[in-house]
Structure 1
Amino acid sequence: MFDTRPNREAEVILVGRSNVGKSTLMRELTGHSFDTGGSPGVTRSPNHYDWAPEDFVITDLPGFGFMSGVHEERREEIKTNIVQYIEEYADNVLVAVLVVDGKSVIDIIDRHSGPDEIPYDVEMFHFLRELEIPTVVAVNKMDKVDDRDERLNELCDRLGILPPWKQWQETIAPITAKNGQISSLNEAVREHLHEQNRDDLFKFF
């Protein structure tokens, strides 16, 4: 299921829990609709979108974490597959976009924080950074958030980076994908592409 990757050198990946809006964001970035069901966990294998003349692919990885109606073993298997995929292609990934739901992310992180538990979102953020993959946290559904700055500062705190969030504009990108409001994400991604001398890919962001 995870061996469908087109033979492309450069890659940008979207990763995150189920139902945070990754597929909607993928549609905004590519102009191409992917099969997204109303229920979580519809994307079970990666969606790749590549442009024929370009040595570049955007990949929407399956959602991880709790999915109603999906057995825990299956959830763990999906998560393992995602981790293995990222490890295998880490050298090719120019930027990872970790998509979170701005409205619920703090509650979810806090609910899963215990002495033996690292919440998936926090764990994924540090995993990507350990692999030295430039990472942007796309904080989606911000149209539903009232206390915007406060919420983004709290997210920085949970991720282990010092608030205020505004000093992390290449890392924290508030967006509302379904309204097409993703300019802060595009700017953050371009920043990382530029650092890797890939301004040629700006046209996609």
Structure 2
Amino acid sequence: MPFENRPDRGDEVVLVGRSNVGKSTLMRELTGHSFDTGGKPGVTRQPNHYDWAGPDFMFTDLPGFGFMSGVEEGKREQIKTDVVRYVEANADDILAGVLVVDGKAVIDIIDRHRGNGDIPHDVEMFHFLQDVGIDPIVAVNKMDKVDDRDERLDELCDRLGLFPPWQQYQETICPITAKTGSIEPLESALAQRFRDAKRDELLQFVS
């Protein structure tokens, strides 16, 4: 079983996504705890879990998939497989699956892979979360670098099979900039997931 050292915790929120989209930076903003981040993809190779002494809950930053500098394709595919297996194995305990994407690059990346006849990883992961019963949240990171905000978010909805405009999916499409701590749309979406799960005591972690 991949990623065997899962803490003995019940519910969790998982962060998934390509390498170098800012998952570890977002994890820092959500938990107040620093994790290894790097300018080159693939710094995180094992899950980073963060829990608290009281509530039966944790945040989990899963390793990034896709291109990683200096990592051979077989290893990259194994990491992606391990991520999928982890989510499948723990789906019943995952209150929210947060797919983190790079707001500036995600449309180009999706279209490039689709043009090659592939299913883009981001689209595949979005639908995979739905398939295992997890209502996905898309944290569209690095929005400070995006000029055509609404147009870009509408295009992302289109690629994910959601009918634009994006504003009707504010519990699903969350534009953020983790580096500057601007993550309020994501915190709001997570808060709604916690309320839906009757876990109001977890609201302290997203306020």
Q: Mark yes or no: TM-score above 0.5.
A: yes
Q: Does 1:86 align with 2:70?
A: no
Q: In structure 2, how many angstroms separate the alpha carbons of the residues matched to 1:106 and 1:38? A: 21
Matches within 5 A, 1:54-69: 54-69=55-70
Q: In structure 1, how many angstroms separate the alpha carbons of the residues matched to 2:116 and 2:140? A: 26
Alpha-carbon deviation of 1:4? 1.6
SS in structure 2 at match of 1:78: helix
Matches within 5 A, 1:135-146: 135-146=136-147
Q: In structure 1, how many angstroms separate the alpha carbons of the residues matched to 2:147 and 2:5? A: 40
1:188 corresponds in structure 2 to 189
Q: Does 1:170 align with 2:167?
A: no
SS in structure 1 at match of 2:37: coil
Alpha-carbon deviation of 1:114? 4.1
CA deviation profile, 1:32-68 (whole Å, cap 9, x unmatched): 0012233210100000000011100100000000112
Q: In structure 2, how many angstroms separate the alpha carbons of the residues matched to 1:18 and 1:46? A: 13
- Structure 1 segments (4+ residues) deviating >2 Å: none
Q: In structure 2, how many angstroms separate the alpha carbons of the residues matched to 1:187 and 1:80? A: 30
Alpha-carbon deviation of 1:82? 0.2
Amino acid of the residue matched to residue 121 of structure 1? Answer: D
Compared CA separation, residues 141 and 115, structure 1 to 2 (3 A): closer
2:47 corresponds in structure 1 to 46
2:128 corresponds in structure 1 to 127
Q: In structure 1, how many angstroms separate the alpha carbons of the residues matched to 2:190 and 2:54? A: 21
CA deviation profile, 1:139-196 (whole Å, cap 9, x unmatched): 0000000000000000000000110000000000000000000000000111122111
SS in structure 1 at match of 2:40: coil
Alpha-carbon deviation of 1:116? 4.1
Q: Does 1:5 align with 2:10?
A: no
- TM-score computed with the length of structure 2 as normaliser: 0.97
1:101 corresponds in structure 2 to 102
Q: Which runs of 5+ in 1 are unaligned?
A: none
Q: What is the root-mean-square deviation in Å for CA atoms of aligned residues?
A: 1.0
Alpha-carbon deviation of 1:8? 0.5
Aligned length: 205
Q: Which runs of 5+ in 2 are unaligned?
A: none
Which has the higher mean CA deviation after the structures are superposed, 195-204 or 13-22? 195-204
